[in-house]
Amino acid sequence: MTARRKITAAALSVAVATALGGAAYVQASGDDGERSVTGAQADKATVAALTITKGGKANAVERDGENGATWEVEVTKPDGKTVDVRLDAGYGLVIVEGDQEDANGK
């Protein structure tokens, strides 16, 4: 491959990565400024939260800075109550709070 083709390929790769990164950010940003996430990190947060709540169903995983947390996992516990489990960057417990939204999201 010639030097010119290598430079062109590198520039194209940077442009594609930048475009995809921007699209991922837009997709992950919610209207309320919180960012829903999926993938390996979200899976780790989910496992940690479900371990803390001793089971249940994870409804959402978000990046969140409230109470000094890095992660927020909304969990419906086995008893039907919904809580927000806030985790630090290492997926350790910061706090578990009752979810204050009702069934209508208010």
Q: Write the CB contacts of 78 (distance below 8 Å, at least 6 apart in sequence).
A: 54, 55, 56
What pLDDT, on the 0 to 100 scale, is given for residue 60? 95
Using DSSP's 3-state secondary structure scheme, residue 89 falls into coil
DSSP assignment, residue 83?
Answer: E
Nearest-angstrom CA–CA distance, 42 and 74: 12
Q: pTM of the full predicted structure?
A: 0.62
Cα angle at 76 between 74 and 82, to 5 degrees? 75
21-33 pLDDT, tens digit per residue, is 443 433 343 334 4
- Helices in the chain by DSSP H: which ranges? 3-28, 40-52
